[in-house]
Chain A
């Protein structure tokens, strides 16, 4: 037992209280101000209304931005799922020279600051592809996002593959199943929750990403974070941003719920 006096426990309790207040009061203020009828956020809120919710509901730019974010997120997730799973198999099943380097390569895009990754991609797009007559446009964002999403899938699938029993695959092949059949019937069912969790994290990461997107988005195309960024710079629509932010806070409960379900499904398996 850790023997602490009553006053020590109270001090620790107060610090925990401060941490929780620090974490949740700002988010609560966002939600509160989404219902503020004035243009800019204030405290205390003097007049409540649904004014900004009505504006947000019919806003064409917001709708377009959400659509862009979903398309980019899905594209990046599909690529990350393929590349992340392939590299997870390679690194969990084989020993080879340069393994550490491959591992580092996968982590690097998320370890380096977003601004470096973003600037590097935009530099390549502008100084190599454009002079060569290739307009990468929209796909540039997907390429950049996929690159830093790979690690999310890789980490999840790799951790699962390491714990899996390779004998099951051997048994399946001994019984005459080919590689494809073994993968479909034996291997994949064993890591599908990790696969799904990795995909979920990849999508969430892409959906939330700002900095790399700033440099790789084609002109005139906004993802949702870019829309928030641009609207934040315009002081008169402060509470419209709060409406979108409130929706995002509520939406963030979905991946939390799904990841809880996934980890429970994992325990059942």
Chain B
């Protein structure tokens, strides 16, 4: 009896080699394991990315030699002062902010009815088709969509031809077309969370609301809308910050006088890096403020 047990113990011992020094050492020291996991990612993100961002921020305080037009290290607040003193820069910042807010509002205005229709009216089959239909364009390239909007709204393009038949003409290239194009680009980011949120509302709530005599529209206004707030905020973080940083839409469908913040950064980076650097702080500030405001509502944690 004892010998069998001993034999078994010996056999197990030989089958399981216990000398794995590295594995054992790592297993005993979770801190070392954590350090080993984080070493590479943190070196990359801090050493390359944060370092570059910090350097950019420092460059914003540097000067450009007026004679050689070379960047010279130093300390000046002139570049930041320019943001608030140059009227063209102020109007560009405000225009960009307005465009980003308009895109967000427009996306929400279409995402809500779309979500209600998909979740509550469409048959299961149609719902599946629509879900694929809103996701698919996410994969079509960014520039492909800008090309598409360009040929839709160009002088002799689709929109003017179709609208012309009714005696109308399209918006042409300008700020309205920039707003439409950015909405076209980022709409799915709003539509998907809104649709998911409507689907997640318990069916009981709709029944209760109807039993209490509310009409469909009253239910939407008083039951659905308040429950949608977190999804709308989550979607708006995408539509707002993506629109805020964009400048290629303005370049290709904006016509004259539709510069955005990104346009100024891009056009200054070679001529006057310190001004471009100072201007980079503007979209960062807008995005951070927006995130802080939305965080206060607690919507992001609930997503």
Contacts and interface: CB of A to CB of B under 8 A. Distances in A.
Interface of A: 1-5, 8-9, 11-13, 15-16, 18-20, 22-27, 29-30, 33, 41-44, 79, 82-84, 86-87, 89-90, 94, 96, 102, 105-106, 108-109, 111-117, 119-124, 127-128, 143, 146-147, 150, 173, 175-176, 178-180, 204, 208-211, 214-215, 225, 228-229, 232, 238, 241-242, 245, 248-249, 252-253, 255-256
Given A3-B219, A9-B121, A16 B113 contact: yes
A250 to B, nearest CB: 10
B156 A43 contact: yes
Interface of B: 15-18, 20, 22-23, 26-27, 30, 33-34, 37-38, 40-42, 44-46, 48-53, 55-56, 59, 71, 110, 113-114, 116-118, 120-121, 130, 133-137, 139-152, 154, 156-158, 161-162, 184, 187, 191, 203, 206-207, 210, 215-217, 219-220, 241, 244-248, 252, 262, 265-266, 269, 273, 276-277, 280, 283-284, 287
Contacts of A20: 133
B49 A109 contact: yes
A141 to B, nearest CB: 13
B285 to A, nearest CB: 11
Given A121-B52, A225-B141, A26 B149 contact: yes
Given A43-B157, A127-B71, A150-B41, 19 more contacts: A2-B121, A2-B210, A2-B216, A5-B216, A15-B113, A23-B134, A24-B137, A29-B157, A29-B158, A89-B37, A90-B41, A96-B34, A116-B245, A116-B265, A147-B49, A210-B248, A241-B147, A253-B136, A256-B135
Nearest to A115: B262
Given A3-B215, A147-B48, A30 B287 contact: no
B147 A1 contact: no
For A79, A112, A238, A255, which residue has the most chain B Cβ atoms within 10 angstroms?
A112
Contacts of B120: 2, 4
Given A30-B151, A124-B55, A210 B142 contact: yes
A115 B17 contact: no
Given A23-B134, A27-B148, A102-B42, A2 B206 contact: yes
A249 B144 contact: yes
Nearest to B269: A119
A86 B40 contact: yes
A84 B44 CA distance: 11
B156 A42 contact: yes
A204 B130 contact: no
A113 B244 contact: yes
A18 B266 CA distance: 35
A12 B117 CA distance: 6
Contact of A116 (B30, B38, B42, B284): B284
A124 B54 CA distance: 10
B151 A111 contact: no
For B117, B137, B148, B156, which residue has the most chain A Cβ atoms within 10 angstroms?
B148
Nearest to B35: A90
A41 B269 contact: no
B38 A102 contact: yes
Contacts of B114: 15-16, 19
A120 B52 contact: yes
Given A43-B156, A115-B245, A123 B18 contact: no
A12 B280 CA distance: 41
A27 B140 contact: yes
Contact of A33 (B17, B48, B151): B151
Nearest to B263: A115
Nearest to A179: B23
B46 A123 contact: no
A177 B96 CA distance: 57
A5 B121 CA distance: 11
14 contacts: A1-B207, A11-B113, A12-B116, A25-B152, A26-B145, A43-B161, A106-B41, A112-B284, A114-B245, A115-B247, A123-B55, A143-B48, A249-B140, A256-B136
